[in-house]
Copies of this chain bind each other. A is one copy, B any other.
Amino acid sequence: VSVVQDSVNISGQSNTNTLKVPECRLAEDLGNLWETTRFTDCSFCVGGQEFKAHKSVLAARSPVFNAMFEHEMEESKRNRVEINDVDPEVFKEMMRFIYTGKAPNLEKMADNLLAAADKYALERLKVMCEEALCSNLSVENVADILILADLHSAEQLKAQAIDFINVLRQLGCKDGKNWNSNQATDIMETAGWKSMIHSHPHLVAEAFRALASAQCPQFGIPRKRLKQS
């Protein structure tokens, strides 16, 4: 016979609620493992800096590292990997994400970290970078961000960058005299946009297609956006 229910009623609180369960330390423990380099079995040379790591953790987290270590590649035999296209600071941040699921310095290096996340197939880290870049979109950087997103198949960021251009353009329709019309034109006049026309004409075409297919009601704001506001 269990009398827990009675005890709960009388004391006014559940027995189970009174126990203090410590927080989950999985991410913290693995973060310490990365920091202390205990039991490491592989090393990386990144821009002249050495990093020690654990093949098991890297393979568990990244399909690219898994393939690298599982097959009889040069890296697998020597347990030493040379990386020349990633900055050491970016590599460290990527490793922190691999071991802990977190990237505390992401904001500082979102563009380069996006490239690294794409290279090592770290989907969540990639979208975290897309999110950071998205919240910093500006007239000045939107063309460069569009090129970056296209290069690394960052589809959500690409859609947001095109959306950003088109919203500005449509605001411009509303009133030829207000500041927004200047901003819409400003994008087309940035060095980034002008260079993109030559280097990535398909992106200009994509932005144009999105603009043409967007609804353009009386005030230049798409109907679905008006409904949301």
Query: Does A11 contact B156, Cβ atoms closer than 8 Å?
Result: no
Chain B interface: which of A1-9, A83-91, A193-201, A205-213?
A1-9
- By DSSP majority rule, is chain A's interface helix, strand, loop, or mixed? helix
Residues 13-44 of A, flagged 1 when their CB comes within 8 A of B and 0 if not, give 11110111111111101101100001111000
With A30-B60, A131-B21 already in contact, the answer to whether A2 and B137 are too (CB < 8 A) is yes
Query: Does A138 contact B2, Cβ atoms closer than 8 Å?
Result: yes
Query: Does A3 contact B56, Cβ atoms closer than 8 Å?
Result: no
Residues 135-169 of A, flagged 1 when their CB comes within 8 A of B and 0 if not, give 11111100000000000000011001001100110
Bound complex: CA A59 to CA B2 (Å): 39
Bound complex: CA A12 to CA B226 (Å): 8
State whether the Cβ of A112 lies closer than 8 Å to any Cβ in chain B: no
With A20-B127, A70-B38 already in contact, the answer to whether A10 and B138 are too (CB < 8 A) is no
Bound complex: CA A39 to CA B168 (Å): 52
Query: Does A13 contact B228, Cβ atoms closer than 8 Å?
Result: yes
Which residues in B have their C-beta under 8 angstroms from that of A163? 15
A-B CB proximity, top 9 nearest: A12-B229, A12-B228, A33-B60, A39-B56, A26-B101, A24-B101, A2-B138, A22-B124, A16-B135
